[in-house]
């Protein structure tokens, strides 16, 4: 299973209800399938943040640039782009950090990206977001030094 897929649960109750780490593994399995269906892979998707509040991202190789604000006390991350603000969250993982979004927000972002080339496979991610309402889905982040 790819380590670049981020999953976080919004409450301990939801985590317990979903079956804990086993559920997170199952969500990641479904997420890799959904991402693959629309062409998102670890080699064409990534984020870079600088100390001045700027970010660059590539989702399925498509560039996204803007500024960001982070509230370390809540993990709230706002990615401000020319087309709007994307609310996200930063969470600690065993391997570093994950950037995740509410499943419905991730669906909206992926639909916008998907509309750029007319791929109809986005339904796989839509079904995933319905099944895991209350979970945050996204990407694990590793430090990369140029």
pTM: 0.72
CA distance 104 to 133: 7
Domains and CATH numbers, the chain: 5-135 (2.40.128)
Confidence at 30, pLDDT banded by 50, 70, 90: confident
Mean pLDDT in residue range 3-30 = 54
Q: What is the pLDDT of residues 43-89, one digit of tens each?
A: 888 888 999 999 998 888 888 899 999 999 999 999 999 988 999 99
CA distance 32 to 29: 5
Q: Residue 113: its pLDDT value, please? A: 65
CB within 8 A of 67, min separation 6: which ones?
Answer: 53, 54, 55, 80
Name which residue leads in pLDDT, 68 or 131. Answer: 68
Tell me which residue has tokens 């109809």: 120
Mean pLDDT in residue range 79-108 = 85
């Amino acid at each position: 299973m790819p380590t670049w897929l981020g999953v976080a649960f919004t409450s301990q109750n939801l985590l317990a209800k979903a079956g804990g780490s086993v559920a997170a593994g199952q969500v990641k399995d479904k997420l890799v399938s959904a991402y693959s269906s629309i062409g998102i892979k670890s080699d064409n998707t990534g984020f870079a943040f600088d100390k001045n509040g700027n970010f660059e991202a590539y989702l399925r190789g498509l560039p996204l640039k803007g500024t960001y604000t982070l509230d370390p006390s809540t993990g709230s991350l706002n990615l401000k782009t020319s087309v709007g603000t994307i609310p996200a969250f930063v969470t600690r993982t065993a391997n570093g950090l994950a950037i995740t979004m509410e499943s419905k927000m991730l669906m909206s972002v992926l639909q916008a990206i998907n509309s750029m080339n007319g791929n109809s496979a986005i339904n796989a991610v839509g079904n995933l977001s319905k099944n895991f309402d209350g979970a945050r889905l996204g990407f694990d982040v590793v430090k990369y030094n140029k």
